[in-house]
Amino acid sequence: MLYQKEEPILNGQSSCAENFRCAFSPATFDLSAQVAIEKISELLRREKIEGVTLEQPEDLMSEARGLMTAHSGSDAPFDPERFSKIIDLYFRTSIKVGSTGYMARQFSSVFPVAAVFDMITAISPQPASFYEAGQLANVADKIIAEEFARRIGWDPDTCDMITTSGGSLANLTAVLAARNDRLYASWKTGVTRRNGTPAIAVGDDIHYSVCRVPGIIGIGQDNIIRLPLNDRRQICVRRAIPILREALAEGKDIFCLVISAGTTPVGAIDPLEELADFAEEHGIWLHVDAAHCGAFLLSERLRPRLRGIERADSFCIDAHKTLFVPALCTLLFYRDRAKARGAFSQEASYVFDHHENSMTRFESGAKNFECTKRPAILNLWLIWAMFGPQVIAQKLEYLVDLTWDAYSYLSSLPDFATVHEPEANILCFEYKPKGLDSIQISELQLALRDAIRDGGRFFISKVEIEGRNVLRIVMMNHEIEMDHIAALIFEIRSRAAEIMKSWEVRALDATMVAQ
């Protein structure tokens, strides 16, 4: 007898066996779900204006360790009270995206039903890269791709879309596809300089992930051509075109031009049509990082701001930003389906089947860096199925309108200065009280960001524009109204008065010490 079945160790009456059964028990799910739903419902109904609570890492680590079974000396079965405390700790240390005081980052509160569905896809996974493992996920990919293709004006039969875990990975994948399209042997033999030095061109405010790509794909950071911006923080075509022509004349093989539809600092949309003209003239792959503003395609009113995106070879949208679904979920679109496979050319018989059939043609695994990938697209498909895309468009339009109202209001205040006219839902500005020089004003913005964050009512961000610090708000919460903007202005003025008073005391102390 080659194999003799033994009684499972866990059939014993030990506490370890009891703990094991409890950990996987449906009854544990029932109890934990009840606790979680009560906590989540309470969070969603909370109307308190609050920002973020920062705690010292060492203190937080100590508290987190105290909640761990392994550090309590107990192997006790599921303890709902401990689970409740863990949820409380998580919420306490989270950014309050549902609060009207949250104006700092580009991620939003999500559709609650999508959060519930996220739990379902965790319990019953559908790894999304291959059809046999993720049937509905792969079908949903095609449905959403067709929905966007119709709005872009692309032929659904010749374009393509894949999902990735974040915009950084989408940008990397697109530029890799562009490199392999131009330098077709580079995947196998490495990058060569047969037709010049391979390079990419980017706007000065491009997302930092794009600037990592040349180092990753082997062309080097020195071969990034940075393009200057105009006063709206868009690529300045008048100045950029001569720079690009000069680079080509000097032997740079610019195989990809990466531009933005919604830059991270200010939400600027680069001149898509004019840059597409140059890319087409010189046979350069045009990739648009539309992580933030690509969702404008769903709005009849906002879509014209993206005129020209249909001429891109590829572009991406972060669904976890402005499509309001759980992170991470990025949509990467290719105008030419044949080029979507160009990013990766591999043989792996345990997953890839190069003999396409009715099922494998729905797969994205061969076109994607990821293998086991969450079916994040299902959350977006769910919203389409339950409410329709118009609910996304309505929220986007409200947020963009709110940002413009905030811009108009701040522009009317004598002690505030706006940095740009907003094209999206991001606004940068400065608080400029009298009596401070430019260096002090820049220092004040940074001090204000910290003081407001530490105050716990509002959470805003800062960004550096042309060497100076400015304040930045991102309208992602549809519950925010102009009254909340006015309350933020009051908070800024109050905190600034405290900061400048402390500066005066510090200066006086320094004078006394010097004497």
- Indicate the angle between helix axes 272-282 and 237-249, nearest 10 degrees: 20
Residue 500 CB neighbour total at 10 angstroms: 16
**Do the Cβ atoms of 77 and 27 come closer than 8 Å?**
no
Asked if pLDDT for residue 351 goes beyond 50, the answer is no
> Who contacts 66 (Cβ-Cβ below 8 Å, separation ≥6)?
72
> Who contacts 283 (Cβ-Cβ below 8 Å, separation ≥6)?
none
Q: Peptide bond before 229: cis, by omega within 30 degrees of 0?
A: no
- For residue 220, how far is the Cα from the chain centroid? 25
Phi, psi (rounded to 5 degrees) for 245: -65, -40
Which CATH architecture describes the domain 120-346+354-387? 3-Layer(aba) Sandwich (3.40)
pTM of the entire predicted model: 0.91
Report the mean per-residue pLDDT for the chain.
90
Asked if pLDDT for residue 254 goes beyond 60, the answer is yes
Q: Please name every residue paired with 464 in a beta bridge, in sequence order, or none if there are none.
A: 469
**CATH annotation of 391-514:** 3.90.1150.170
Mode of pairing for the β-strands spanning 160-164 and 197-203: unpaired
Residue 73: its pLDDT value, please? 53
pLDDT confidence tier of residue 348, bands split at 50, 70 and 90: very low
Residues of the chain with CATH 3.90.1150.170: 391-514
pLDDT confidence tier of residue 320, bands split at 50, 70 and 90: very high
Residue 512: its pLDDT value, please? 59
> Who contacts 63 (Cβ-Cβ below 8 Å, separation ≥6)?
89
Percent of the chain topping pLDDT 70: 90
Q: Which of 139-153, 298-312, 350-364 has the lowest mean pLDDT?
A: 350-364
Mode of pairing for the β-strands spanning 197-203 and 224-227: parallel
